[in-house]
Amino acid sequence: MIDTLTIALSKGRILEQTLPLLATAGLPPEEDVQHTRKLIVNGPKIENTQVRFLVLRAADVCTYVEQGAADMGIAGRDLLLEHQPHVFEPLDLQIGRCRMCICGPRELVERGKPETGSRIRVATKYDNLTRQYYLEHGIHAEVIHLYGSMELAPLVGMADRIVDIVETGSTLKANGLVEETTLFDISSRLIVNPASAATKQKLIHPIVQTLRAALQSA
């Protein structure tokens, strides 16, 4: 019987940077994962194991790996901190680098940070991180959940600030927003389902080692 090793990949901006890493690990997808509409794409066969890739929305990678539907995956630190999945995180892949920031309209940010005890409205897709940050700082934050284009919320008066990832800063600039506080740096991590780490150790361990060596020599 043929075994499978299933790897969950994030669609979008980090997929392009993921492909050279997969090639380094000897795991090139058989098809162009950036453009195919297929959700499962085969990779190579390693002895008796068929490698396959799931091409997912970034926010779903943690779920597939935590549930064991994928053995491994590539997920941003932002999503790992937000959702706290029960997965191993053996490697910082050093791709998808950006930062999590609190941002707002320039005039508001120039007036200073909100005072302890004040009330603000914050638009984000990182509800947990946002609540936790403002709770720690004694500020009553009403969190408004959005799925994308957070920068719009302050422009139409729906929120005072946003908590979102910033990479080049061009989206902020184009919308008249500035960074108020940098919360933490982000990069993509290799994640592994704990049960798979045990049962498929002979397959997963060499992949992790190869990637680690490649990252150290880069």
Q: Does 28 bind ligand PRP (CB under 6 A)?
A: no
With CB under 6 A as the rule, give the number of residues binding ligand PRP.
13
What is the identity of the amino acid at 111?
R
| Residue whose beta carbon is closest to ligand PRP | 148
Residue (67 or 128) nearer to ligand PRP, CB: 128
Residue (44 or 169) nearer to ligand PRP, CB: 169
Of residues 145-174, which lie at the interface with ligand PRP (CB under 6 A)? 148-151, 164-171
Of residues 96-115, which lie at the interface with ligand PRP (CB under 6 A)? none
| Minimal distance, residue 157 CB to ligand PRP, in Å | 19
Does residue 139 sit in helix, strand or coil?
coil
**Non-local CB neighbours of 94 within 8 Å, separated by 6+ positions:** 187, 188, 215, 218
**Non-local CB neighbours of 89 within 8 Å, separated by 6+ positions:** 80, 189, 190, 191, 192
Pairing of strands 49-56, 40-46: antiparallel
> How many CB atoms within 10 Å of residue 61?
29
**Non-local CB neighbours of 70 within 8 Å, separated by 6+ positions:** 6, 7, 8, 54, 61, 64, 193
Residue (110 or 167) nearer to ligand PRP, CB: 167
Q: Does 44 bind ligand PRP (CB under 6 A)?
A: no
Residue (166 or 203) nearer to ligand PRP, CB: 166
Q: Does 183 bind ligand PRP (CB under 6 A)?
A: no
d(CA 213, CA 215) in angstroms, rounded, equals: 5
Q: Does 59 bind ligand PRP (CB under 6 A)?
A: no
Q: Which residues bind ligand PRP (CB under 6 A)?
A: 13, 148-151, 164-171
